[in-house]
Amino acid sequence: MRSSTLLFVIVLFTLKLSAQQNPAVLSYIQQYKQLAVDEMLRTGVPAAIKLAQGIHETEAGRSDLVLRSNNHFGIKCKSTWTGDKVYHDDDAAGECFRSYGEAALSYRDHSDFLKSNQRYAFLFKLDPTDYEGWAYGLKKAGYATNIKYSHILIRLIETYNLQDYTLIAMGKKAPTGDLLVGIRAPAANETLAIQPPAITNYPSGIFEINATKVLFAKAGTSLLALADAHQLSLSRLLDFNDITPGEGDLLVEDQLIYLQRKRKTGAGLFHIVAGEENLYDIAQAEGIRYGTLLELNHLQPGMEPAEGERLYLKEKSPRQPLLAGSKRPLTKTATVYTPGPAESLIQQTSVSVKPVKHIVQEKETLFGICKRYGVTIDQVKEWNRLNGSGLRKGQHLLIYSN
C-alpha cells in the first residue's frame, strides 16, 4: 500500500511538471539549442542565459518581431547599426529594431553586443554556471526595463533545465536525453572563449619568469627609483620592459618589471589569450620580448588578438590569429584571413612610424590626447578599437604619430 501511494505521488508530480512545460518553449529549445552552445564556446555567453533570453524575447519564437526580422533578443538599432531594420512598438511606438537574414546572425550579434559593450563586461568575470548572477546582472546593466526580467530568466532556466546546455558547452555534461541528444559536444581541444580570470600571486622581491629576473611593482612606484635600486640606467630599464621614454616616471597600475632583457622565446609553446589581456600584458606575463611576440604571430603594432586565440611563443605561427573585433565564421570550415578596417588602417601606416604607448592620466580626454599628438579622434579609435570616447585612468593607447 505504501509503495503504491509513493508511485502515485511520483506520477502526479511528473504530470504536474510536464504540464508546466509549454510545448512551444520545448520546440524553441530543440531548434536553437546548438546555436546557444556554439555561441557559448565562441564568446562565453552562457547557453542557459542565451536560450532563456531568446524564449522570453520572442515568446518562444512566436512574437511579431521575430517573425518579421529574425531578431531573437529584442536588440534595437542604436546609432551604430548599419544593417537591415524593422519598426516595432515597444517602450514607444514605431521603435527601430535590428533585422537579420537568419536566426544564427541574431544569435551571433547578441553575443557580440554583450561582449563589446563595456557595461556588460563585469558579467564575463562571473562563473559561467552562475545563471542567477547573469540574470540579475543583465537587469542591473539595463538590458531590459521589465522589473521582473531577472526572475523571468531564472524561472525559465530552472523550469526547462537550461543549465544543462551550459554544462554541455563546458564539457561537464554529456548530451543525452530527449532534448539534449543531437547537440555537438565540444571537441577535446575546444575550450570556452571566456574563462574565469586566473589570479596570480607573485612573490615579493626578485624572482624569475622564463629564466629572467623580474619583480612585481605596485602602482605609484618610481621607475627611476627602481632603476637606481638595481644599478640600472633608466633607459635600460625602460628598454627591458618595452616602455617608451616619456610615458612618465610613476607606474599607473600594478605590473611586472623586468631587470634583465626578456627572452626571444617563451618558456611554453603557446599562450591562450584571456579576457582583457593585450599583447603587452602577454609579453610581460610570458617574459618574451614584445617585438618577438609580434613577429612570431604575424602581427603589427596596434593589432590585438581576440580572446581564446592561441599565440605562439617558440616558433613561427602558421597563420595570423583572429584579431579582436573580427567576426568568426559561422561554421568550422577553414577560412582565408581578410584584414578588417582597423587592421587595414594600421597596415597602411608607414613601417618607419614607431607607435607611442600613451598611458591615460587623470582628467585626460581623447580630444586633448589627439591634439597633443596631432592625430584625429577616429584614428585613435581605430588603432585602439575604442567603441566610444570615454577613457579611464591608466588605460594604454597606441598612437601612430610622425
- With helix as H, strand as E and coil as C, how does 68-82 read? HHCCCCCCECCCCCC
Reported confidence tier of residue 163, pLDDT bands at 50, 70, 90? very high
Q: Which residues contact 223 (CB under 8 A, 6 or more apart)?
A: 234, 237, 238, 243, 249, 250, 251, 257
The pTM score is 0.47
357 vs 70, higher pLDDT:
70
Mean pLDDT lowest for which of 19-33, 172-186, 220-234, 363-377?
172-186
- Asked whether the predicted pLDDT for residue 127 surpasses 70, the reply is yes
Q: What is the mean pLDDT of residues 392-398?
A: 75
Task: Read off the pLDDT of residues 231-284 as tens digits, 9 standing for 90 and up.
Answer: 999 999 999 998 888 767 788 788 899 999 999 998 777 788 877 788 998 999
**pLDDT at residue 333, as a whole number:** 31
69 vs 11, higher pLDDT:
69
Averaged pLDDT score across all residues of the chain: 78
| AA letter at 222 | S
Domains of the chain: 21-169 (1.10.530.10), 349-402 (3.10.350.10)
74 vs 231, higher pLDDT:
231
Q: What is the mean pLDDT of residues 163-192?
A: 70
- Asked whether the predicted pLDDT for residue 100 surpasses 60, the reply is yes
Backbone angles phi, psi at 164, to 5 degrees: -60, -35
**pLDDT at residue 56, as a whole number:** 92
